[in-house]
């Protein structure tokens, strides 16, 4: 059954089609005969119980520089005229992002929103993961310089990162001498009102940071992301590279622990990050990536698996 699919994402002319997961999902949907519409989160409107947006009917093709064609924009009622909304705009997870989840929550009883907007709001990457602290490296969430110093003294080397950061941005390693820790916490406190995440540094990150994708709570595939030269960050967005990988017994244990909760929350497309085959660091639910690299190394059609799951849910 052809579906009407509204894709809430960033401007299409700014994406890298070679690795963009949303673009891969759009190509897969189009191949199944689904009709695609593109809109931006800031174009949402609500009145008298109805949520609508100005949206462009769009077709996509894997041709760099000529990868999409817009038709004239239309007023699209997301509650009555769309079967599926893909909420795929990139963070920052700010008030604009949060407001979009509140608005989309008002149609979730009629239209399937992927991922569930209320659960995306309630499960930010570095907060939701705290529910699984037994799988995490030693972790501190704080704004306190004194607490950060005590944590550094206990663990020798640490990593400091913003609680709602993304794509490997603003991640700093601090050595055992604590050089620049006070200045770093000062800058973080001036930049962000929320606390920050501090973790024990894991030397195993030099061997990679594994991205594991789960679809409706089941493992769909994984890649190992290696840091670039002179880097501790392995995110592909900051110069990391990907390689084929297999899951360890510990990683399978982590996935089995997470799967039922992800499924119950309506978090259909999730990417988790695991270092050293055992340390869970993030549960990515806002706009997970990695499916193009997984298909390149394993031949697994993760986009197809996601659409299989969506189609099952829409038919219910």
Catalytic residue from among 88, 161, 210, 265 = 161
Residue 257 structure tokens: 């622990």
Measured distance CA(97)–CA(48) in Å, rounded: 22
Contact indicator for 84, 35 with CB cutoff of 8 Å: no
Close Cβ partners of 204 (under 8 Å, ≥ 6 residues apart): 275, 276, 277, 279
Measured distance CA(204)–CA(219) in Å, rounded: 23
In the residue annotation, 35 being an active-site residue is answered as no
CA distance readout (Å), 127 to 164, 176, 252, 284? 9, 26, 21, 10
Catalytic residue from among 83, 88, 121, 126 = 126
Catalytic residue from among 224, 233, 251, 265 = 233
In the residue annotation, 75 being an active-site residue is answered as no
The DSSP line for 158-171 is EEEEETT--TTTT-
Measured distance CA(83)–CA(101) in Å, rounded: 17
In the residue annotation, 126 being an active-site residue is answered as yes
Q: What are phi and psi of 56, to 5 degrees?
A: -100, 120
Catalytic residue from among 210, 211, 216, 251 = 211
Contact indicator for 281, 274 with CB cutoff of 8 Å: yes
Going by the DSSP 8-state scheme, the letter that residue 206 receives in this structure is G
Of the candidates 263, 293, 258, 292, the residue with the CA atom closest to the CA atom of residue 274: 258
Catalytic residue from among 83, 116, 216, 273 = 273
Catalytic residue from among 83, 209, 216, 282 = 282
In the residue annotation, 211 being an active-site residue is answered as yes
In the residue annotation, 273 being an active-site residue is answered as yes
Catalytic residue from among 225, 235, 251, 265 = 225
Residues involved in catalysis: 126, 161, 211, 225, 233, 273, 282, 284
């Amino acid at each position: 059954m052809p579906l009407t699919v509204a894709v809430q994402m960033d401007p299409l002319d700014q994406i890298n089609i070679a690795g963009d997961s949303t673009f891969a999902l759009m190509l897969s949907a189009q191949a199944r005969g689904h009709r695609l519409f593109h809109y931006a989160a800031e174009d949402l409107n609500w009145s008298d119980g109805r949520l609508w947006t100005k949206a462009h009917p769009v077709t996509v093709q894997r041709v760099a520089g000529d990868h999409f064609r817009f038709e004239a924009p239309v007023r699209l009622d997301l509650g009555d005229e769309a079967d599926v909304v893909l909420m795929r705009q990139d963070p920052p997870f700010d008030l604009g992002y949060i407001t979009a989840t509140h608005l989309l929550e008002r149609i979730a009883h009629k239209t399937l929103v992927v991922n569930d907007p209320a659960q995306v709001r309630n499960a930010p990457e570095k907060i939701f993961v705290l529910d699984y602290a037994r799988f995490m490296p030693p972790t501190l969430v704080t704004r306190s310089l004194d607490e950060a110093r005590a944590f550094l003294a206990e663990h020798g080397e640490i990593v400091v990162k913003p609680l709602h950061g993304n794509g490997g941005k603003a991640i700093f390693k601090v050595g055992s001498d604590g050089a620049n820790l006070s200045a770093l916490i000062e800058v973080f406190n001036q930049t962000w009102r929320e606390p920050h995440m501090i973790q024990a540094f894991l030397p195993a990150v030099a061997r990679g940071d594994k991205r594991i994708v789960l679809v409706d709570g089941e493992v769909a595939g994984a890649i190992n992301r290696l840091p670039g030269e002179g880097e501790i960050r392995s995110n592909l967005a900051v110069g990391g590279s990907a390689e084929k990988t297999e899951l360890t017994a510990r990683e399978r244990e982590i996935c089995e622990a997470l799967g039922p909760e992800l499924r119950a929350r309506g978090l259909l497309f999730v990417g988790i990050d695991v270092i050293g085959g055992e340390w869970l660091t993030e549960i990515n639910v806002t706009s997970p990536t990695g499916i193009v690299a997984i298909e390149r190394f394993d031949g697994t059609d993760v986009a197809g698996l996601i659409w299989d799951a969506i189609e099952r849910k829409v038919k219910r």
